[in-house]
Chains A and B, each alone.
Chain A
Amino acid sequence: MRYMLMHRLDQTNAAAWQPDPEFMAKMGAFMEEVGKAGVLLAAEGLTHPSAGAQTITVKNGQTTVVDGPFAEAKEVIGGFGILQVRDEAEAVEWGRRFAALFDEVAVEVRRVSEFE
């Protein structure tokens, strides 16, 4: 089964969006670990909303496009990874290891819908 790990970062926390070499090295080691474990199917990191973010909303059939990520969100998605794991506990364990790389982060672990 597949789980998506999404991490949310405070968009006002500049340091979190411009990681230093030490953090990059830790992240690199983690990505290597999860890659070598054979469970990582895909992963991407997102840029800070200031580098490009639009939100498209449909309400009562009316489509609007507004600047920025979801309104009033202090925390925005910083990236995601898709893992193929045996169960939720395994996805949570990888999520825990990923989260431990940060000083402050929220990692959401969600089951990916697949054809039965």
Chain B
Amino acid sequence: MFGIVDPKQAVEAVWRIEAGRVIAGLARLVGDVGLAEELAQDALVAALEQWPAEGVPRNPGAWLMTTAKRRAIDQIRRRERFERNLPELVHPAEADTSDFDAVLEEEPIEDDLLRLIFTACHPVLSPEARVALTLRMLGGLSTVEIARAFLVPDATVGQRISRAKKTLADAHVPFELPVGADRAARLASVLEVIYLIFNEGYSATAGDDWMRPALCEEAMRVGRVLAGLMPAEAEVHGLVALLEIQASRSAARTDPSGEPIVLLEQDRSRWDRLLIRRGLDALARAEALGGGTYTLQAAIAACHARARTAAETDWSRIALLYRDLAAIAPSPIVELNRAVAVSMADGPAAGLAVLDPLADEPTLRNYHLLPSVRADFLLRLGRPAEARAEFERAASMTRNERERSLLLSRAAAC
């Protein structure tokens, strides 16, 4: 596109940059996130009417905020008149906003933005609602864009958002930051929402080609915003590191026909060095602050990112990191991954010793990767008959046709 940017697009660009801050500031004034979002949307409509003709104001964020504040005062006055049946004393257009300005100057808008993030990710909401509200209020995404990203009808997203706002209002969720024992759990919920948004884009099971990468970028952006707002929180940096490093592999993880390429077979020249560098920087900050589960996952991802070739991967370190991860977040999947890392570091017998206790794990009973990893170890140990049986068992478990034929051909080759 050449020439001057379309005015409507210019307004929408400002909106995406400012939406979170405007909604956050308004939410503190009116004490209701849903109402704040509606007022901010009204201001956006006004901007779409005025800016194309009058030009984008010098400080567009302040313009949106002032316009929305006037509307907030309008509403409050109207409600007061309605409730008290008082005569109109002041024309809304002349309304004095100095009290509101004073409130806004008390505390930096950053604090409001953080409150907004925590409110949008409040546990009283379903995960789908948290994701939709976060994208809508912090990412400035429209209902249509969110619907496109999740392959659901626009109306579904619209309902999800309006129900979420109602839930927050009904539950009298205060526009405050959680303190004390509640804080860690609430932060975990925020990080989970960001990771959910990222994975929705990254897993690419379905959805719009354009919106899916946008979800990953949006998750990274919100993560970076959060890291700026909570610079002392290790796990915020840990999550950002994990997202940056995972995203660095985006261009290498599928072949031209769209089939996935496993990590060790990816063309590392297609990994994004800029994102890797950012990820490693974020990881260093996270580790200096103490770390956690996201930090450990990022550290594992970083081991791969640092290796110029698959053969140079520091598997001993990865095995240790999985052990640390299992210690704070025990899970059979983590243990399965640790077995693979141990086998790469110390050989298949050592890997098998980690893997075999998982044989009776109920959650892995129908998980084809357990027998397929075991088959691989057995094959490397020179036990082809057992390996063949395990590959066949794995093939019988997967529902993915392509995977099944791959496993059967490996069985036949034993």
Contacts and interface: CB of A to CB of B under 8 A. Distances in A.
A100 B228 CA distance: 24
Interface residues of B, number: 31
Chain A binding surface, main DSSP class: mixed
A37 B217 contact: no
A84 interface: yes
A28 to B, nearest CB: 15
Given A89-B12, A116-B251, A42 B274 contact: yes
Most buried by B among A35, A39, A41, A93: A93
Contacts of B12: 89
Given A38-B225, A41-B274, A89 B10 contact: yes
Interface stretch (B13-21, B152-160, B163-171, B360-368): B13-21
A92 interface: yes
Interface in B252-299: 252, 270, 272, 274-275, 278
A32 B17 CA distance: 14
A37 B225 contact: yes
B177 interface: no
Given A36-B228, A86-B214, A92 B13 contact: yes
B221 A38 contact: yes
A36 B221 contact: no
A80 to B, nearest CB: 13
Contacts of A87: 9, 13
A86 B220 CA distance: 12
Interface string A16-45: 000000000000000000011111011000
Given A86-B13, A93-B17, 10 more contacts: A35-B228, A38-B221, A39-B224, A84-B221, A88-B1, A88-B5, A89-B10, A90-B17, A92-B5, A115-B251
22 contacts: A36-B229, A37-B17, A37-B221, A37-B225, A38-B221, A38-B223, A38-B224, A41-B275, A42-B274, A84-B217, A86-B214, A86-B217, A88-B5, A89-B6, A92-B10, A93-B14, A93-B17, A94-B17, A115-B251, A115-B252, A115-B272, A116-B251
